Structures are given as C-alpha cells and as structure tokens.
Structure 1
C-alpha cells in the first residue's frame, strides 16, 4: 500500500482538520511533506520546480504568512505547486494570521484536484512539527510494511497528470521510495536519466560518474568512490522495445537485498516500457504481462493508467502460429485488427505476447456475434500465417482464471490438435478436455484401460470395417452429423448409417445416447492421443 491524503487525515495531528477543496485528489499518494512560505511564485518556477519538472507527490504545509492579504499570490502558489506534482496544501493559522480562506482558492483547488486542508481555525498553538512527525512516521511505517516497490511507483505516477507521466518522473518516485540515487544509462554507460537522493548532489554524482573507469559486474555491487559510505549496484536490463540499458543505484546506509533489487529492476523496466513510448503498444504489453502473471494489484494500477475496465474483461482469444516470424507478422496485423474492433462496446486489449496474438474483451452479446468476430479475426490473420490456430477462452472471472487458461492453451494445444486435427478453432473447453485426456494416458495402465473400455466391443468386431475410426470421426470431427462424417470419410451417407447401426448393436446403445456418450467421447479422444 501507499499512503494517500485521505489516510493522513486519520492521523492524530490531522483528525480535526477539514478538507475544503480538491476532494477528488484525496486518493493521491503522498511521498513526503514539506513547508513552504513564499510570496513569489517565480521562486517556485526557478528554484523549487526547475524547468517544469515533477519534484513532488509531497503535501505542503503553509500559513501564507508572507502573503496573508494577497490572494492573487496565494492562487499563483497553489497553481504552481499543483503543476510541480504536489498533492495538496495544509493551511495553518486561519483566523489567527490568515484572516480567511478566499473562495477563489477553493474553486482553484477543485479545478486542479489539489487537496486543500484547513487546520482548526483560530488556534495559535498549532505546530508544524506535530503534523510533520505524524505524516513522515506514517509514510515510513507504510514503506516498512510494503514489499512492493513496483506498486508504490505505479500508484504515485498514476495519480499525476499525463504531462508529468514520464520516465524521469517515475525514476524520481522510485528514488524517493528506496532512498537511493538512480542512474539509467545506455549500453555504453552514457547517462540517460539521473535522479539523486538526497536532491541537490547532482553535480557531484554526475562528475564522479564521468570519472569512473570501471563499474560493478552485472548484478553486483562495489563501494561508490564519490559518495561517502555508499555502494553502487549495477543491473543490466532489456526493455521490450529491444533497448539494452544499465541501471545503477547508489545507496548509503543499509544495503539492498536481492528481493529489493529485483523490485527496483521490475519497476524501472515497466516505467521504460510505458512512459518511454508514451502509452504505445509496448505500454499495453505491461498490462497484459500483469494479467497473465496473475498480479492483480499491479494489473489494477496499470489499468487505472490506461483507463481500462479490467473487471469487464471475461474473454481471452488466442491465435498461434509456428512460423518463425509469427511474432512480427502478428505485430504488423495489430492496426488492421484494432480497426475491425472499433465500436465494440466495453474495454478491449490487444497485444502480441509470447509470440501469440491475444485479445481480451467482454463477452459478446450472442454466440453468433462471437463466431462472426472470430471468423473475421481468422480471415485477417490466416492469409499471412496459413497455419494459424485460434482459441476462444470464455467465462474468465479473474486473473487466476486468465493465467490458467493461457498456460493451459500453451501446454495442451498440441494434444488438442491431435484429438481434433480437422479444426482451426478451439475453445477453452477443448483445451481442458485435452488436458484431462493426457492425464489419463499418463495415469497408468489401469486408468487407461478403464477409459478405453467403452470402445472395446467395436474394436473386437470381426467385420472388415474400421468402426472405431468411424465413431471417432463421427463424435470428434463430424459433430454427430452423418452428412459431415460421410464427407470427411469420403464414403456414402448410407455407409455411415450402416456403420453407426453396427456400432450401436455392438455397444448395446445408440452412439449418441446421453449419458453414455460422455465416456464414449472421451475414449475416442484418448485413443487418438495414443
């Protein structure tokens, strides 16, 4: 979890405070607290937030002590604080030094979703230090209890306006979260982004880094020669766009452990993938990764950023080809496929993951609509990838279901294709059934014989008729249609009818009778696997 403005209001020093503006910002994450008493917003522009960069996620304390009668300056400071990424303002000494809160401040706070909090009015004994201690204690406790650097970084950046959602902003949040300086470099150690902790030592770190002749080995660490009592950690990473990068951390005090370094690297990779490409195809790839890896918290954070209603996604469609360039071909087809789905109600995610085309969506209104859509997808893909197969996984309720379906498809598609060799379209039910059949084959002779027992009578028939094969095609391929079965076998329909009549006689029941059909169907499928 990350501490929000709303949670801070429950602290002892703030539980009598009132929120008077910017209520929509109560869910914003707070990384720190600071005090500001400035009359000149130009100071904020030139010194506190240079070049309009993010330097915030702080909540700020003020009494407007130097501008108690200058509402335009109060407004200008609030606007600049919000632009710098600060989340809100705690105003002290209303009715003591500051006569009142001008309604224009409240209107501006509401416009900017910038939380405006007023301490109890008329009390001169209030102290900044009490709030500062309470807030920082809450933040440090939360960080000590939270094991997810990734979620904290995503929570911090997702609440910011889009103009502040950049790699550099994300690295600043990361730097504050782990109390370390962060250097992101290309493969030749040219610095792409530099964020120092504490702030203000950029010159020393930059000069010291340029003077280095050697670096720690990948995944290793060494004493940092230019920051006292600190170590430098090096991690090599590759973004999904193919860039090879080096991530270096400089941390004083307690060292990083392997788990923390893994979290830092994961957070950095996600930030590069998303904000390095400005919400492009690589960015949505991170959301798909979180869904398939069953990481619901990370998934929901990313979904907030991309404005995707994940709860409405109950279908996953998968297309797979064994051609060597399948990934590239699927990628090239994405624009055309997205164009086809324009106007589809609800959220929709389309990506190429693990060399497969994945489409997540809500359940189509009718089976006919789903079939029409899947045929259109296949019609777009098949000319480019003739061996493509397609699977529709329906009724998925959560990320665990999605992950199970994806892994099940990946691991059992080959068996499904052996059981249903004439198909190009499969369902999640087909995949699950294929997995059950494989378990029978692997379960030992007794289990195998028990499963195959329903078709033993027709395999013992003395007539020179391939009754078992006819039954298999009738049930598994021919959809229990005499016409379709005759076409698949290239024989007359009357011949199929004769064979089915003979099969029924040997079995003692019609081949399409329920519930006997269930065991008969599975026996034919297992027979094919063998």
Structure 2
C-alpha cells in the first residue's frame, strides 16, 4: 500500500507534531518531500502531484492573505500537505484565516513544536523519504499506485502528461508518447526543467524497424528506450524514454504502457490521432500543435465549429447505453447535414458542432434537448458558444471540470446549464474557498433569516430565488405548499432583511448570499 499523510504522522519526527487543519486530506498519498520558502518559486502551471511541503512561511510571515493564497497554489499544483516549522518564532501566532483556508481545501497543516529550533527540516525529509523508499522496496505496485494517485487528482489536471510525469518521478527518466508517425501526444522530463529534444531520441531508432517488444539504445545522451503497444481501438502508439541512470529498464517501460492503457480505458481518453474525435482530449489538454495535426490529418475545418455541448454522465453507466446515445445524436446531425464531433471523454459526452442560428439549427437543438432529457444517465448538460471554439474550448473544459459540482449544488433542479452559469458558479466557488471580508459580508447578510426560529424561511428563499427563478407559482410547486404560504414566508423574509427581494442592487447581493449558503451547506 502507498504511504499516506496519516502514515507519515507515525514517523518519529512528525509524531512530535499535530494536525491543526485540513484533517479530511490525511488519506492523500505522499511520494516526495520538498522545502518551499520563496513565494516566487510557485508557478501555477507546474504540477507537483503528491508532494509534502516543509516550510516556516518566513517570506509570508507578515501577510496572512498571502499565506492563504500560498495554500491555494499548493493545492492547485497537486501538493498534499504542509509541515509547519518554528511557528512560535516566525509567525508568532497562526491566524484563524489560514486554518479556515486549509479546512476548505482539505489541505492538512502539521504543526511541529513552535519553539523547538533543534528540530530540522532534514529530520522530516529523512523520515518521510525513508518510509517511501522502504515502501517501494517491499511492495511492487507501481501501476496500481499510479492509478490511485491519478484518481485523487482533480479532473481538470488529470491528463496523459500527468501520468507520464508520475512515471518520470518514479523512474528518474524522460518519457515521450506518440503515434507511429511520431506525432507527440504527451511528454514529461526528468528533472522537470531538463528539456530534451524528442528528435534526438527518435533518430536513435531510425534504422530499427518497429517490433512488438522494447528496444534499447545506448547513446552519448543516455540510454534510450522504445516500446510500441496497441490501444483498445487497435491503434498503435509508441512510448519512448531517455534515462541517464540504471533505474529504468524494459519492465518499467511495460508498466508505464499499462498505466497509459488503463488511463485511456478508465477515463475514456481517445489517443487515436487518426480520428477526428481525438481533437477533444487534445483541446482539453491545451495541446494546440496536436489539435492542428489532427485537423490536418482528418480534414477538420476548425472554423466550422462554434458550439459545444457537455453532457455529464452518471458513474457506472453501461458503455452500451452511452454508445447508443452517441449513435442517435450522430444520426440526428447527419440528417441535418451539420458538422459534428461527438465522443465520450472522462465523465462527459462532448459534442462539438456548427450552430448558425438558422431555423434548422433551432429545430435540431430542440430535438437534441429532447434526447438529452430522455436519458436518465445524464443528470445535466451545458452549452458553450464562441466563434473561436478550438482556441477557447480547452480553457472552458478545464474550468467546467472545476466548477460543475458547484453549479449543480447551486441549482440542483436544473438540467440545462450555460457557460454563464458555470462562470457564476466559479465566482461562488472562489468566494467559498476564500476567507475574505466579501465572503463575511455575504454570510452575514442572511444572518437575520438564519437566526429566526422558522427553519422553512431559508428553504423557501433558496427555492424561490435559485430553483424557481423568482416565480411564485413554480416555488410553491417545488416546495409542495400553497402559493399564499410562499408569499407569507417571503414577506417575513423581506421584513427580517429590510430589503425588497426584487429591487437592485440588494436583490443581486441576496442572490449571491443564498448561492454561497447552499455551497457552504453542501460542504459542511
């Protein structure tokens, strides 16, 4: 089994400390330890999955907001916890805002004795790394451990490149994944900043015909490996690697291949770049060079596509049902002669198509909504429209993956969402994760209603504003009470708040406050 944060707490150096926040994150896997004392060293586009950080926060000791932002960056980058040294000497005291942020992020803070200057960073690093090395020595589970780590990462960053990065950390080698025509799909380097030109690795095998086994070449730049393999759709991919040590061997190459195969099967990643559907994961990963190659190879005209529809799929839905749905949708678009790219990606069915706002497009969208609403395995779906779809979709898909549960939490009865709904949900999520004065303002805004003995008031306010779009009749239907009962409760709420729910600008503030309340309750 992998070493978790909970396991690390039993080590001699960390047994002296205590977890002061983020207790829900103690099951996270730890694979390495790093010291971080300089805030400028944090780049948001560099993933460091499963890394435990050691710090005294010296650079941030006088700025609580910067400390909170530090934790958010760490969480975003894949770090799993913070071991806090010398708190009494450096910070003086630990602000409640920092603890609240850690709890919101499920990011454990392990506080070591604050005045013990005899306890060194190297004590913790040595203990944790020794536990990790021992675990690897007695347990050989690289494949299952990697899949488990990937399952713990946010969907927005779970890509083949991340899988290869984990492999690079394990084998201390650089990896390149491509097709038979050498079109690069994903890559990772060891160390991360040590860029290696793929052309050098590829050329080393120029005189060797493709075989179904690993070929090894000893070169001046290191030892190069090549392993072809077949994906589930019978397409052939090739894994290359470059190593300057003796850790990597053909057995690890086979394990990395197995990880890629499991990754594509579990999270429905289409890596067959000879098909137009492969443009969807390429857009998600933000790999514009690969998008251009797929468009050229499959004769796709990016300018024809200006609308995307993302349908969420329930867990454990039989793939047969999903493929039947896709076949019906493809037939619908084919009958209207409208360009379509449709595929299952992760937990979504994604459709990319042309919407000219003509009559036939409106009729098609009505038919599409009818098909979507008939499918019980699709709880909700989202539309996204832009004339530069292939340039902007990747960013939106990653944003969508981050906020879809928040949007669903705000509007649990809603099935059809828009891009604007998702952007609003992102604002509420950012508010929820903050410890700002703005968040406090919105939380306090509803205090008179929450403090009232009538527990139905908050339920009514939420249903009226968020579920019924401020329609009295619809709110009464949702709440299963008479229209006059809803009206009575709303008048009481108006009296308690001192605001008219229909008059701007306070109407918007109350709307935001109720949205935030729902998310706070959901995550309580």
For normalisation by structure 1, the TM-score amounts to 0.50
> In 2, distance between residues paired with 1:138 and 1:205?
35
> What's 1:223 paired with?
217
> In 1, distance between residues paired with 2:88 and 2:70?
20
- 2:2 is aligned with 1:2: yes
Match of 1:235 among 223, 227, 240: 227
For normalisation by structure 2, the TM-score amounts to 0.51
Match of 1:245 among 224, 237, 241: 237
> In 1, distance between residues paired with 2:253 and 2:91?
47
After TM superposition, give the deviation of residue 161 of structure 1 in Å.
1.4
Residue pairs, 1:42-53, within 5 angstroms: 43-45=41-43, 49=44, 52-53=45-46
Match of 1:177 among 153, 170, 176: 170
Match of 1:188 among 181, 184, 188: 181
Cα pair distance change 1:161/1:317, threshold 3 Å: closer
> In 2, distance between residues paired with 1:267 and 1:93?
41
After TM superposition, give the deviation of residue 243 of structure 1 in Å.
3.3
Residue pairs, 1:435-474, within 5 angstroms: none
> In 2, distance between residues paired with 1:133 and 1:250?
28
Bigger Cα Rg: 1
Structure 1 segments unaligned to the other structure (5+ residues): 283-305, 320-327, 345-530
Superposed CA offset, 1:180-237 (max 9, x none): 22110111122221111222211x3445336546276532332342533xx2222112
Cα pair distance change 1:21/1:255, threshold 3 Å: closer
Contact 2:38 2:59 in 1 (8 A): yes
- 2:64 is aligned with 1:29: no
> What's 2:149 paired with?
156
> What's 2:88 paired with?
95
Cα pair distance change 1:307/1:278, threshold 3 Å: farther
> In 2, distance between residues paired with 1:337 and 1:31?
45
Residue pairs, 1:485-504, within 5 angstroms: none
Superposed CA offset, 1:130-158 (max 9, x none): 11111111111112222222111112111
> In 1, distance between residues paired with 2:136 and 2:150?
17
> What's 2:484 paired with?
none
> In 1, distance between residues paired with 2:248 and 2:75?
33
After TM superposition, give the deviation of residue 56 of structure 1 in Å.
2.9
Contact 2:204 2:217 in 1 (8 A): no
Cα RMSD for the two superposed structures: 3.6
Contact 1:53 1:164 in 2 (8 A): no
> What's 2:77 paired with?
84
> In 2, distance between residues paired with 1:116 and 1:317?
41
Residue pairs, 1:255-266, within 5 angstroms: 256=248, 259-266=251-258
Residue pairs, 1:69-148, within 5 angstroms: 69-148=62-141
Aligned length: 299
After TM superposition, give the deviation of residue 238 of structure 1 in Å.
2.2
After TM superposition, give the deviation of residue 87 of structure 1 in Å.
0.8
After TM superposition, give the deviation of residue 273 of structure 1 in Å.
3.4
After TM superposition, give the deviation of residue 337 of structure 1 in Å.
12
